[in-house]
Amino acid sequence: MKLVTKYNYPKSIRAYYNGQRMYNIGSEKLPSVTTILSATQTEEKKASLEAWRNKIGKKSADLISRQSLSTGAAMHDFIEKYCLGKLNLDLLGDNSLERKMADQIIEHGLKNRVSEIWGVEACLYYPNKYAGAADLICIMDGKETVVDFKSSRSPRKDQYNFDYYLQLGGYSLAHNIVYGTKIYQGAILVCTKDLMFQRFMVDSENLKNYQKLFLERVEQYYDMQLNN
């Protein structure tokens, strides 16, 4: 697995404007992929989330959310260092859960599958529309691929990955538009807190469909901004 500087990904400053995460790309302030998905959630998803919060209580829900964010960020940091060749894999004494979760994704999701790495936490943007940071842009199994790393409290079911697939659609479309690539494979690599590894792959036809669906959410987002 080698790191290849193939594309000049832009430097960007992430900031919050009116409570929304935005990216400063040149002179543009573009909403993030996650901001768009959050703002255009279906009523069904909003109701489901609210029901969960009511069931376990607001304080417990907030605590779980904070812990999940912290665990996910630490796990991502280990994987990012590995992809950049900065992680000492023989480091003794690091038995943290986050390191163990990262090791599962590295061992079962990246090793012997990824031949080239083009970008790690790569800032991507679709001009005048949106921006975001993809966890990994690479050649996986011989194909141009966008990859997202996820931590989870329990094993994931595929039907709960819809927004994750839309994220992959948004990132891959932005990369293809700006750099003229043909990224038509996506991968979500998950590790649970019980150290169970899961892989969810998105093939060419499905990724094209998620790109289309994500663009529809982008248009919905801008329509909402005009009506606010």
pLDDT band at 92 (very low <50, low <70, confident <90, very high): very low
The per-residue pLDDT for range 9-56, each reduced to its tens digit, is 988 777 777 778 889 888 889 999 999 999 998 777 777 777 767 777
pLDDT at 58: 75
pLDDT at 49: 74
pLDDT at 139: 97
Element (H, E) at 216: helix 204-227
The answer on pLDDT for 178 being more than 90 is: yes
Share of the chain above pLDDT 90, in %: 67
Domains of the chain plus CATH, in order, are 2-227 (3.90.320)
Taking residue 17's Cβ as centre, other Cβ atoms within 10 Å add up to 11
Q: What is the mean pLDDT of the chain?
A: 89
Residue among 124, 101, 102, 106 at smallest CA distance from 34: 124
Least confident of 21-25, 99-103, 110-114, 210-214: 21-25
Instruction: Report how far apart the first and last C-alpha atoms of the chain are (Å, whole number).
Output: 48
The answer on pLDDT for 155 being more than 90 is: yes
The per-residue pLDDT for range 183-224, each reduced to its tens digit, is 999 999 999 999 999 999 999 999 999 999 999 999 999 998
Measured CA to CA in angstroms, residue 136 lies from 57, 124, 172, 176 at distances of 35, 11, 11, 15
CA diameter of the chain: 56
CA dihedral sign, ordered 70, 172, 198, 159 = positive
The answer on pLDDT for 91 being more than 70 is: no
Average pLDDT of the segment spanning 136-163? 95
pLDDT at 89: 58
